[in-house]
Each structure stands twice: as C-alpha cells, then as structure tokens.
Structure 1
C-alpha cells in the first residue's frame, strides 16, 4: 500500500493506565481524501482541503490508539473513493460476523466492495453484504447485549431487522431528526456495555424517552460539544478518544470516571467526520 509521506508528529499525551480490554480497529489512510461532493451539511466542495495535514492528523489518531494498547489494521485506500478514510461506515462486526454496508449515496457505493475484499482476505469466515441500506457503525452501534441502530437519514428501518437476524442480538431503533447529526455515531457514543453519552436534541421525542429509560445515567452532551463532534468518540471502557474542541464533554467524562483523550482532526471534520468515523471496531465476540 502506498501512503503519501508526511512529517512525523507526536501523539497527544495519553494518561497512563491499561484499557479495560484490548481492541482491534480497522483504519484507512486518507491518501485520496477530498471534499468533492456534499452529502451532509458539513461538506462544502468549495472549501479547500489540505490532504497532507489530514494525513498527519490521521496518523496522530492511529498513534493514540496504538499507545493505548489497541491493534490497528489498515485498509488500503483506493482512488475515486475520497471518503474511504471513514471506515466506521463500511461494515458492522459483532462476534466475528461481518455485515458489509450498503451505502445510500452513490458517491460512496464503491466502498462496500473494498471492505468486503479486506474482510475476505483477512479470513473473516462470515462476511455478507447487506441487502438493506445501512451505513455500518455509523448507524449500528453494539452496546453490551444490544445494538443501538438509527434511522432518519442514511440507514433504513428495514436494515435494523436485517442486523437483528444477522447478529442474533436485539436491535433498538432510534430516530435522528437533525440533519447535522446524520449518523448515530455523530449524536451518541457507547462508553461501555451499560453506559452511553448522547445529544438529546439530535433525536425524535419518542427516542429521547426511550434513551432516558434505557440509560438513566447517560452523559448528556451540550450543544457546543455536540457541534464540535464530541460524540464522535471511541471508548475502550476507560479511555475516551474524542475531538479536542469538545472541552465541556471531556470534563463531564472525567467527572464520571473516564479518561478523556483529546485529538485534533480539523481537516477530516470538513467532510463531517471525527475520530469514530475513522475507526471500525473488529469485535471477535
């Protein structure tokens, strides 16, 4: 795989202490990253993108994940797929079973085949491409015994039932209503098997009621932190990697006993992506 050279950068300081469980993540270097179209409110093709800076910022994220003790696998970037860096959207992996995404927008459709090739070559035994439109971990977030699944902008309600059949876990349907939070992972993050954080105003009233019932001790993000993509975060159960602009949310996490690990991804943010968008968790069980 050819990756454009970039100056080495030091990873942000990481608090000491072991992760709850070593994770395995799939990332894709932003070698072909660009904003060539607009499929969410954050994207503006007329706004310049610094690809070299994007690569340096992405390398910082990968370094942080490795420094926390996690394994990082790489998906080779392909020309003509500028959003391929956002691997979270390419599939959902639970118990070693892989459900490859079926993208709503034609601009990203080619990413499905690229992900399927990677999983096949990596010898995942149960790999299937979704029959219904779903955008991977963007909208399907495993949370302990259940899967939290969103609809409203990208993933269909029928895809929730398909995920339930494929993974053999109950799927809880949530409805997004604010187009700025077009994927579930921009409005909600799973912190551990029993706790989440989310931005209530991104969801329909009935969904807010459901989330309050399921997660009475959830961390509720404030509007500025949600707009800073603070909920597009990666948690190993102790450390929470989140955008460095979500300072208030970092304090809330610290008060709740988690260790916030801020990272900066301003170039990738131009496409409506944050740390979690760049990371697909490969769950063996």
Structure 2
C-alpha cells in the first residue's frame, strides 16, 4: 500500500508545496518468522490472552512485510524461531548491532529471556561478538540510532543504567528519554526515525524532560496525534525515503508524504495483538 491508497483520507489534504527530495539507502535487516506466535501471557497493555490469534494470518502478514523489504532492495536475514518463545517475531528487541558492535538484549520479563540466546547465536553466526549488559536492555525496542546518536528509552522495560553501558560499548552518545505511558512501553512505539536527522514522535508518551530534549535536538520533528499513535503508527522502518508503517496510520502517512517521504502501509493486525508492528518485527544492522 502506498500514499495513493490513502486517497480520500488525511492524505487528500497534503499541501501543494513541493516536498523535499529524499534519497533511500539499502539496509540490512534480521527477522524471525512468527511460526510460534501466540498471545499466551500479557506483559504489555496491548496483549489480551482472551483474544484469539490467527497464526496462519500472522505468518501471511509477516511475509508481506518481508516481501516489501525485498522489493525495496533491502537485505533480510532470517533468525530461526524457537518453540516456546512466541514473542521472538519481535526481532527488534533481540539486541543492537551498530558499527560492528553487537549488544544482546537482557529482557525484563522471564517469558522472553530465552530469546537472548537465540539472537546471540545469530550474531555470532554473522561474525559479530555478542556483548552483554549488566542491566536490562531490550535492544532496538528502546535503542534507536539517529545518525551518530542513540536515542534510548526507559521507564518500563530498559533500565536507564544500561544506557551508560551501551554508550561505552558502542562509543556513541546516548540520549536518555523517559517514557510515562504504559501503552508506549518501548521507545519504538512512541518515536520513529525517518532519516539521520528527522524523527517523529508522540509527545504524551514522554516525560516533560524528555519532550524538552526532543524539542531541543529535533526542532522540526513531526508530532503525531493520538489516532495514529494508538495503532502503533510510529512503529516504522525507514530507508531515508520509503517509510514502511502500519496501514491504518493514515494521518501519519499524510504528514510524512508532505515532507517528501513515501509511506508504504502494511497490515500487521495479528502481530499488533502482541503489542508490536513493523519496527518490532525488524532488527536493523546499522553499518
């Protein structure tokens, strides 16, 4: 789905001004097929164990996301799913790989702890030496790279003390941002990286101090409304031009189209039942 498919909605109100030209770059991702996906426990506000999950549809939707990346020319590597780890499909939480440094997740909940070993094994198989933090970090769920800076969330999952460990391991500056709304329990549910200098975010998800930092660092950031935030519309993956996002985040799609980005909507309604969407399913290997 592209911006043309949003016609008649908010996209119809896009300003006539010429948008800025955007240049995509080829990316490298890791993903895990949702073979064992289900909602058998609740560790975030989106999860409801009484809501049935269509496992076949979940795989089919995930395959559409995979196909979208490959159509755009990106490299996608597979991480083998493990029985008994239903959330492994949310590959972004598996760790952080940037400039050759690989940091394995240390999960807050025991239900997901086993995923760390699986992603560490994948890192090793690709020639990375997996590093571990002493404190909880949930990978790219809370550690988002913007240019040469890491934006790091805390408040619900990742321990703020892990931010210093990440800074030491990567050699990159880390900006700590406090999340205050449990619906936005990971940074990647409340903030989207669009390119090396452009972000979008949902202000109510952040503390006053975090909002002030974001306004200072990104004065031209896109502020997203509740309708899009509540469908995890900020849980996106961008190559600098093409922004793959939840199909029903139509208002956000219109906002970024006005800036010259090309939104590509993907329906991940089944995986949304576990509290994740596009970015959650995608671990980027930053070079």
Give me the TM-score of the superposition, normalised by structure 2. Answer: 0.92
Cα distance in 2, alignment partners of residues 186 and 19 from structure 1: 25
Cα distance in 2, alignment partners of residues 70 and 131 from structure 1: 33
Cα distance per residue 1:118-142 (max 9 Å; x no partner) = 1111222x32122210000000001
Q: Which moved more, 1:115-124 or 1:23-32?
A: 115-124
The CA RMSD measured in Å over matched residues stands at: 1.4
Asked if the contact 2:30–2:76 (Cα under 8 Å) also holds between the matched residues in 1, the reply is yes
Instruction: Give how far 1:184 is off.
Output: 0.1
Matched, 1:74 2:78: yes
SS at match of 1:83: helix
Asked if the contact 2:3–2:253 (Cα under 8 Å) also holds between the matched residues in 1, the reply is no
Q: Which runs of 5+ in 1 are unaligned?
A: 1-11
Instruction: Give how far 1:19 is off.
Output: 5.8
5 Å-filtered alignment, 1:50-61, equals 50-61=54-65
Cα distance in 2, alignment partners of residues 218 and 130 from structure 1: 31
Higher relative contact order (CA closer than 8 Å, sequence separation 6+): 2
Give me the TM-score of the superposition, normalised by structure 1. Answer: 0.93
Cα distance per residue 1:15-43 (max 9 Å; x no partner) = 9x996211000000000000010000000
SS at match of 2:244: strand
Aligned residues: 271
Q: Which runs of 5+ in 2 are unaligned?
A: 5-20
SS at match of 1:149: strand
Cα distance per residue 1:40-76 (max 9 Å; x no partner) = 0000111100000000000000000111110010001
Instruction: Give how far 1:98 is off.
Output: 0.4
Cα distance in 2, alignment partners of residues 38 and 13 from structure 1: 33
Asked if the contact 2:150–2:172 (Cα under 8 Å) also holds between the matched residues in 1, the reply is yes
The answer for the alignment partner of 2:174 in structure 1 is: 171
Cα distance in 1, alignment partners of residues 22 and 142 from structure 2: 29
